[in-house]
Every structure is written in C-alpha cells, then in structure tokens.
Structure 1
Amino acid sequence: MTDHETFELGDFTLQHGATLRGARLAYKTYGTLAPDRGNAIVYPTWYSGRHWENEWLIGPGMALDPDRYFIIVPNMLGNGLSSSPSNTPPPYDRARFPDVTMYDNVAAQHRLVTERFGIERLPLVTGWSMGAGQTYQWAVSHPEMVERIAPFCGSSKTSPHNFVFLESVKAALTADAAFANGWYETPPVTGLRAAARVYAGWGFSQAFYWDHVYRQMGFTSLEDFLVGFWEGFFLDDRDANNLLTMLWTWQNADVGRTPGFDGDTVAALASIRARALIMPAEKDLYFPPEDEKWAVQHIANGEVRVIPGVWGHFAGGGQNPEDTAFIDAGLRELLSS
C-alpha cells in the first residue's frame, strides 16, 4: 500500500536500549490542520492493523469528521508499514528485531506530531485494542498536551489472563516447523492458520457464537467463519515476525513502566490530566469492563461507559453498526465537552 506518508525517525533508540537506524513511522492524515494547529486528533492502529483499517470511524458527519478535524493515524512499530521485522535491513531484521514498548510507539508518534506538524495540544487521542493502550500511554507520557482520551476495548496494563491468551497465539505461530525460529523464507502458513483458530475463541463472545451472529457477516457456517474470516484475517499480508513483535508490545503494556513511575501503574494513571471516556465492551474476553472500572478509579476525570451487546472485543472493530454508533456518540459527546 502506498496511500500513506512516512516520517523519518533517523536513529531511534528504544526504551530497552536498542537503536533502530533509519527508523520510520508510516502514517496517514484525514482533513486539514487548522491555522492554530488546534484541531488534531491522534488515532493509533491496533494489533496487526494498518491505517486503512481505522477508517470505519472516520467520515463526514461522524465525530471524527475530516471536515472539522485533522485526524492522524500512525501505524504501530512492527505492523509492516512502520519499521518492522519484515522491512528492516540486517542486523535488526526478522527474528533479531528488538523489543518495542507502548512508550516507544508514543515517543515516535509524539515526534511526528510535534516535528512534522508543529502541534502543541491534542483535543483527543482515541483508539481500539492496542490503539487504546497507546491512547492511555499518550495521556501518561504527555499529560500537558492531551486534553481528552477515549480508549475503547483496551487497557492501560495487560492483565495476567490476557498475557496467557497471547502465549497461546505465540505458541501457535512458533510451533510451525516452517517458522524456522523466525528466519523463514516463505510464510509459516500452518502457524498463521493455527493462530487464527486460537484467536477465534477470544475475539468474539460466547453469546456471539451461540446466536450464530457470524451469519450477519455473510458466513454460512461456523467452519466458513473460522476459515473465511479468521484464517483470512491472519493470511492477509500479516507477517509472523511482525505479529510476534506487536504481541510482545501487547504482553508488556503497562503505563506504570513509563520512565519516572518505576512500575507504579496507579501513580501513572493518577498523573493523567485528560478527561477520559473509557469504553470497554460488555463481553470482551481480552479487556473485560471490570479491568477498566479498576483503572478509572485512579483517573481524576474519568468515566467508564460499557458498549452493550454480544460482539465481544470486536465491538470496537467496526463490524457492527450499532457498536460503531455507540462509540461515535461517545466521541461526539466527549469532543463537545
């Protein structure tokens, strides 16, 4: 895909000490930056997502209206467009790509926002899933800059249960002999298909499957859904090493690991100045509402608003119009506050 721009980060030193030389951040913008640079919204991507897969929440008449706001969608490090195992030259290529944190992603995005565009304040940062994790990180890393946050179907810290789920995805990817410890020449298709099957049991809720809601998405049977949606999702130009890089970022996400907080997640959350509208999904198996109810009690100006329904984590993925309308209404209300 070439419908994006690239911000050259140069020699970019990561939180754990490795330096990516010639690092780059891929991004796309929607709308026009106001003369006072006061209408910018940052909307990061999610696990394996690319900028065009965020576009379902952007459009005329929506809260993220490009006729009113300048919406920046930065691609996560590791997603195949920004610096990733699949596009980085030796010696940090493929299996040797270094560990990347949420803090690193936001540090790169902050440079884009300030150096490329000269933006000093952000009316809103929002995002789904790992995009929600980056949203929390923005509010902790740059409390003086971020006025509002709306993380949906995500968390400020990855829970132990979520960590264990991701271990199963990792095991599926790496168990394929074709994976070759990350030095494969052709995609480890068996591992990618297995990871898809693991993901299928978590991305949507028990009620979603009980009610055969996948039929509303055009799939004619459970097996058709598992192959057509889930295996198709993981085989859609998603590289195994890239997936493992972002998986590490997800597993180790914790705003308490921001420099200056010494691992104290509560203190990091308490440092957030932004008004926060946190929207977990009712039946999300990754990020259940109780996790975000725990987080919001430590944020001075925060509210939890649960997305109702059976779509689980994918309530935030733009698949169900009712969920999209709920999220859009929350963003609209937050932006008007």
Structure 2
Amino acid sequence: MANSGDYQIFEAGDVTLQSGRVFPSLRLAYKTYGALNAAKDNVIVYPTSFGAQHSDIEWLIERGGALDPERYFIVIPNLFGNGLSSSPSNSRGQLGEAPFPLISYHDAVAVQRRLLVEQFGIAKIALVYGWSMGGMQAYHWATCHPDMVERAAVVCGSARCSPYNAVFLEAVKAALTADPAFEDGRFTRKPEAGLRAMGRVYAGWAMSYEFYRDETWRESGFGSLEDYLAVSWDMAFAHRDADNLLAQIATWQNGDVSRCAAFAGDLDRALAAVRARIVLMPGQTDRYFDWRDNEAELGRLVNARSAELRPIPSIHGHRAGNPIRIPADRAFINAAVSSLLQS
C-alpha cells in the first residue's frame, strides 16, 4: 500500500486479466471515509463512474446523509482507466508500447475484493452503491460475490451494456477519435476538437427530451441553449485524458455480469446468483440506461432477499442519478438508500 496525496494505492502485483493478458504491477487507487468498526460490518463500497475520480463523487458522503461517514466505513475504489488507478496515462512504464488492455468489470471487482480482504480483513459489505458505470460495478459485486454483499443499490446502471447503450458509446468514440490527434490507436496530443465534439454528443444523450423541451437549463442561469451547451458540455471532458476515456468506454461496452467462466454468458443464471437486498434505481428519463432493462432484470433476481425497482421521477435524464445540484433527485436517492440500509 502506498499513499498518494488524499488517496492510497493498493499494489495488486501482476494480475492475469479475463482476457488472459497479464497486467504487470496493477495499481488500484482508493480513498476511505469514516472508521471500520470492531465487527467490520459497517462497510460501504462506492465505485466511481465514467471519467470520474473519487473526489468527483464525494458529494454523496455527508453527515446525516445515506452515506454517513460517522456511521459507515466507506471505500471509494477508483475504476481502472480513470487516471489514478492503472490507466493508459500512467502505465507506459509497465506496458511500454503495448496497447492498454481491456480491463473488465469482473477484473476490477476482483481487485477491489482483494483490497477489502487483504488490506482490511473485510468479509461482509453492508452496501455496494454505484451510479452509471459505478452501478454496473455494484451489479457485478452482487452477482460475483453474493455471500459478501448484503445490499446493493444500482443507480442508472444495468447488469449488462444493452445494444442501444453500446451504440451511444460508438457515437462518443467516433466523435473523439475523429480528431486528427488520434493516430495508430492512440492520441499523440490532446484532441481538443474531439473532446468538444464528444461533449456535444453526450449533451443530447445525457439529458432528456423534457429537459430540453421545457428549457430546464434556464434554472441554472443560462440565457440560451447555446450558452448551456458551451459551458456545461463543450468542456465537460477537457480535464480528462482521451486515451483513459477510450479505455473506460471499452470496459463499459463489454460490461456483462454473466460474461465469465462461472456463468458462461447465461444472464438468468448470473442474476439468480444474487442474494443481496437490491434496489434498482433507473432514471425515469435516462436515454441510455433505459429503465426497461432494470424492469426485465427484476424478475430474474429470483434468489435476492428482496428486489425492488424504484425509478427516479426526474426529467434530468441520466444526470438524475448524480444530482449534485438537483435537490429533489438528491432527496429521492438519499431516502431510497437510507431505507435500504435500514432493512
């Protein structure tokens, strides 16, 4: 374990990935909040979402909130490819000129589990909570480690990446890699035009039809739609490394809880493995993690201690699951998660 500023590094060593490729000296960045109790039963795992680092999702960890650091020991593992854990931007020393490999959610959760067990001696997790790519990780946790996970909250996520979702990501990739800076499978310099184009593509998918129809962006002080797009989306990904974004898109597109030796692609069998109390919280107007995927999954969670579908009644699309400045959606999520933790 190493310390890097406000977070720590778990040195996982040489890890054989699902693909069969060995990643030398794989590193998992993480941050903890609160204290582990004597029984080690107050653990919440809170994985990061697309392009996010732990500092981007700390807003949900607050005294009196659902993720209360005075009651729980909260661990945020940074997903591979986010620039803190092993990523294209920080792994040239280990990989040389070899391309960055696909790291699946199964790979990520396996290393996260090693962190909890080897570093802290944790055998039970009170809750795995995640939004978007974090929600997909929460699903993988509940499926792959059913004896360890007591509760799971999947917010704007799904058990696998749907074809519709994958097409959205193809549009994002196409916008980003159309930049002249993309050569021979990687970026030779920062693709500023590609990152702006990516933001514009994201703007249409991340928010809902109703959000734009009702000009809801005016509530945030924008005088025109163009002002909203330019300020909120043109630079949305400018602070991230483009190769890192591509690596996480690959993880996302290949996401499937059943894509492993244990389940051999059988989604029904994978979802039947879940034993946790699980709440699926899709955004009612989310355009790429469609609530109907969660509805279909609900009936397959046949062995879960309880399984509930609680769509977030919001016009903020996918952003309803990350409502930093949306009080109503924030209150809905806090109430749902608090109820789950009390069950």
TM-score tier after normalising by the smaller chain length: over 0.9
> Contact (CA 8 Å) 1:33, 1:40: kept in 2 or not?
yes
Match of 1:141 among 141, 144, 149: 144
Q: Tell me the equivalent position of 1:331.
A: 337
Q: Please state how far the C-alpha of 1:182 moved relative to its aligned partner.
A: 4.0
Secondary structure of 1:137 counterpart: helix
State the alpha-carbon separation in 1 of the partners of residues 319 and 245 from structure 2.
18
Quick check: 2:25–2:94 contact (8 Å CA) kept in 1? Answer: no
Q: Secondary structure at the match of 2:152?
A: strand
Q: Which amino acid aligns with 1:12?
A: V
C-alpha RMSD over aligned residues: 1.4
Work out the percentage of aligned pairs sharing the same amino acid.
Answer: 51
Partner SS, residue 86 of structure 1: helix
Does the 8 Å CA contact 1:86/1:94 hold for their aligned counterparts? Answer: no
SS of equivalent residue, structure 1 residue 177 = coil
Partner in structure 1 of residue 264 of structure 2: 262
Any idea what the Cα deviations from partners look like across 1:16-64, whole Å, max 9, x if unmatched? 0111111100111110110111101000000111101111211000011
Q: Secondary structure at the match of 1:126?
A: strand
Aligned pair partner of 2:309 in 304, 307, 325: 304
Task: Say which is worse superposed, 293-302 or 58-67, in terms of deviation.
Answer: 293-302
Counterpart selection for 2:290 from 288, 291, 298: 288
Partner of 2:244: 242
Structure 2 residue aligned with 1:19: 22
Q: State the secondary structure of the residue aligned to 1:22.
A: strand
**1:11-50 correspondence runs (5 A):** 11-50=14-53
2:160 corresponds to 1:154: no
Q: So what's the TM-score if we normalise by structure 1? A: 0.97
Q: Distance in 1 between matches of 2:243 and 2:337?
A: 34
Classify 1:183/1:245 alpha carbon distance in 2 versus 1 (closer, same or farther; 3 Å). Answer: closer
Partner amino acid for 2:283?
A
5+ residue gaps, structure 2, are none
TM-score normalised by the chain length of structure 2: 0.95
Moved more, 87-96 or 112-121: 87-96
Shift of 1:217: 2.7
Q: 1:220, 1:9 → 2: CA distance?
A: 49
- CA deviations 1:2-24 (Å, max 9, x no partner) are 32111111111211011111110
Give 4+ residue runs of structure 1 displaced > 4 Å after superposition. Answer: none
Which sections of structure 1, spanning at least 5 residues, go unmatched? none
After the TM superposition, which of the residue ranges 311-320 and 129-138 deviates more from structure 2?
311-320
Q: Shift in Å at residue 221 of structure 1?
A: 1.9
Of 57, 76, 80, which residue of structure 1 is paired with 2:79? 76
CA distance in 2, matches of 1:2, 1:227: 32
Q: C-alpha deviations, 1:299-331, integer Å up to 9, x for none?
A: 132110010020010001123111111011001
| Contact 1:95/1:241, CA 8 A, preserved across alignment | no
